[in-house]
A and B are shown apart, each in its own frame.
Chain A
């Protein structure tokens, strides 16, 4: 599945300072859909290069990291249960850096 991932608010520093990643995520084990929960796992393994604890806590993002799916707050779409579709844009922004 083709997705665009964007990292901001300092999170880009965890992935070689690259803000925009165009990625292709394969569905696991003949799964029918890809959820945010699956994507976070995938991002942690494939995109985050250092200090993963700055990005995730448990199986979700670290408190203080905002997630937008197609510019919409993931709290409105079911957070980890949000289902992703082809060409979706997922934005991760840390609120924890800078003042």
Chain B
């Protein structure tokens, strides 16, 4: 195939085929187009304000390294007036985080940015190596995820920063949309698609400036700019369910590269249809979305993990149970968490529904296909309550929490008693979220 010419400058040899629009660009035009698009994302969403101090959640991996590089470039080029600081979490994983932190230290010097490192050991008294020694390799991502969330907030607090940016890219968001879709978790689906998340459990705002950037382009940007990044998978990440969602996204990309951004857009559109009671916070359209304490947006240095490898098995069990229930002509809603909510008027509140809702007892068309024609509905879908988040302080560590003891302290209590069986639940509401049920399962598994 003869070499193509750059569609933009019409001079240089094209070296990249852009997944989002099939444009063939040369190196220089690609780098400037990539930067210009991040600039557009930043300005059109008004992510920053002049004079703001912003911490970049830096793992040393490709995404956060590219984020730091691009933000430095744009801050100088467009005079955002930002003070950029690198904030790293040291989970205490020998052979993984110690090496990647060396990369972050080099980045700090290369980009002339201050670096703050917050360690699990100093915050919690445990390194992840020690946690894994205690609970085993399965289920440890739960600990890491809960600890990381607080650690980032505490690091930001220490720096006097109220805004943390993370390197989540379009592939990550698409993957999270798929995962939440596949486990019927509408609240998280809604939160994960939002570019800015203000949190009920934290005074720190978070945003994802690379939300619309393809992972492929991030890697090529790093390659062509010869950025120094670290790329080893976390040695403790099994992550079967996320891994499957990721493989699905990557397989789709090969057949139809625009699929990734399309999933992101679909996620955003679906999020707009989710009622405020379900998202647990403010309206989604352009406004910050509130998060609950343990949000599914990830942030793990490897595959942004927060959940465990046991999830896939849980899902399979649940699917098997659903199939069995269907065979026995019992409404599957009894066994699977139904996420739609009934309004006060008693009608189904499923805004995206439409279609043949009549077949389902609750009027929600989306599940009608699961029922056999003519079969009698033996059980009614139970209206689901979403526990309202009421924020107080953890009575042990003072961290903002919706429960009297925050999740990190609950996990720590289990660890400190050398007894990994900890129970997480919402005290006066038996209607747990799927995630809390899963966390519970994981912890029990970890003990067994």
Contacts and interface: CB of A to CB of B under 8 A. Distances in A.
Partners in one complex: yes
Contacts of B168: 99
A13 B13 CA distance: 32
Contacts of A1: none
B324 to A, nearest CB: 33
A91 interface: yes
Question: Which residue of A72, A78, A94 has the most chain B CB atoms within 10 A of its CB atom?
Answer: A72
B4 interface: yes
Question: Which residue of A10, A13, A75, A99 has the most chain B CB atoms within 10 A of its CB atom?
Answer: A99
Interface string A58-76: 0000011010100111011
B295 to A, nearest CB: 16
Interface string A32-65: 0000000000000000000000000000000110
A24 interface: no
Interface residues of A, number: 25
B338 interface: no
Contacts of B216: 66, 95
Interface string B54-90: 0000011111100000000000000000000000000
Contacts of B301: 98-99
Contacts of A66: 216, 219-220
Contacts of A64: 215, 246, 250
Interface residues of B, number: 45
B15 A76 contact: yes
Nearest to B61: A98
Question: Which residue of A10, A13, A95 has the most chain B CB atoms within 10 A of its CB atom?
Answer: A95
B370 to A, nearest CB: 31
Given A10-B233, A98-B231, A99-B301, A71 B27 contact: yes
Contacts of A75: 17
B229 interface: yes
A96 interface: yes
A98 B17 contact: no
A97 interface: yes
Contacts of A95: 62, 171, 215-216, 218-219
Contact of B59 (A63, A72, A81, A99): A99
Contacts of A63: 247, 250-251, 253-254
B302 A73 contact: no
A24 B13 CA distance: 27
Contact of A98 (B4, B62, B247): B62
B303 interface: yes
B391 to A, nearest CB: 29
Given A95-B215, A97-B302, A98-B233, A68 B223 contact: yes
A92 B232 CA distance: 15
B231 A97 contact: yes
Contacts of B188: none
B232 A99 contact: no
B117 interface: no
Question: Which residue of A63, A94, A98 has the most chain B CB atoms within 10 A of its CB atom?
Answer: A98
B185 interface: no
A35 to B, nearest CB: 12
B390 to A, nearest CB: 32
Interface string B161-189: 00000011001100000000000000000
Contacts of A77: 1, 3
B415 interface: no
A44 B300 CA distance: 31
B14 interface: yes
Given A64-B250, A93-B219, A98 B229 contact: yes
A55 B166 CA distance: 28
Interface in B283-341: 299-304
B230 interface: yes
B16 interface: yes
Contacts of B254: 63
Contacts of B17: 73, 75-76
A93 B251 CA distance: 17
B167 A99 contact: yes
21 contacts: A9-B62, A63-B250, A63-B253, A64-B246, A66-B216, A71-B15, A72-B14, A72-B15, A73-B16, A76-B4, A76-B15, A95-B62, A95-B215, A97-B302, A98-B61, A99-B59, A99-B64, A99-B168, A99-B300, A99-B301, A99-B304
Given A76-B4, A76-B16, 9 more contacts: A9-B219, A9-B231, A66-B220, A68-B15, A73-B16, A76-B3, A96-B250, A97-B231, A98-B62
